[in-house]
Structure 1
Amino acid sequence: MDTSAVLDIGLQALILAGKLAAPILITALVVGFAVSLLQSITQVQEVTLSFVPKAIAVAIALLIAGHWMIGEVVSFTTQMFGRIPTLLGG
C-alpha cells in the first residue's frame, strides 16, 4: 500500500464524515440561532430554552436523515472492502 492510497482513503473518510455531520450541525445551527434571536428579543436568558429545542430538532433531523446516513456508511464500507485486494497488491 503506497502513500497515495492512504491519502485517498483518508480524504474519502473525511469527506464522508463532513457529509454525515452536515444535516445535524446545520439543524443545530439554525435552531440555535432562532432560539438565541428569540431570547435576545424577549430578554429571557434560560439555558433550557436553548437546549431542549436543539435536542428535539437534532433528533428529528436524525430520524429524517438517518436512513441516508447509514446507507452512505454502508456504501463506503463496501467500497473499502472491495479495495482491499488492490491495496494489498493482489
Structure 2
Amino acid sequence: MTPEVVLDIFREALWLIVTLVTLIVAPSLVVGLIVSIFQAATQINEQTLSFLPRLLVTLIVIIIAGPWMLTQLMEYTDMLITSIPDVIG
C-alpha cells in the first residue's frame, strides 16, 4: 500500500463526509437566517422560534435525501471492500 493510495481513499472519504454534512446543514442555516431576520424585524426574542423550524427542516432533509445519502455511503463502503485485494498487493 503506497501513501498515494491511502491519501486517495482518505480524500474520497472526506469529500463524501463534506457532501453529506453540507446537504443536511445548508438548509438549516438558510432557515435559521430567515428566522433570525424575522425575529430582528419583529423584535420577538423567543429561542424556540428559531430552534423548531431548523429542527423540522433538518428532519425533512434527512427524510427526503436519506436514501441517496445511504446509497452514497454503501457505494463507498462497497468500493473500499472490493479494493482490498488491490490495496494489499
TM-score, scaled to structure 1: 0.96
How far apart are the structure 2 equivalents of 1:85 and 1:23? 33
1:8 counterpart residue number? 8
1:12 Cα deviation (Å)?
A: 0.2
1:80 Cα deviation (Å)?
A: 0.6
1:69 counterpart residue number? 69
Structure 1 residue runs without a partner (length 5+): none
Equivalent residue runs for 1:2-81 within 5 Å: 2-81=2-81
Q: What percentage of aligned pairs have identical amino acids?
A: 39
| Letter in structure 1 aligned against 2:15 | I
2:83 match: secondary structure = helix
Structure 2 residue runs without a partner (length 5+): none
1:85 counterpart residue number? 85
TM-score, scaled to structure 2: 0.97
2:44 match: secondary structure = coil
Runs of 4+ in 1 over 4 A off after TM superposition: none
1:24 Cα deviation (Å)?
A: 0.9
| Letter in structure 2 aligned against 1:70 | L
1:22 Cα deviation (Å)?
A: 1.5
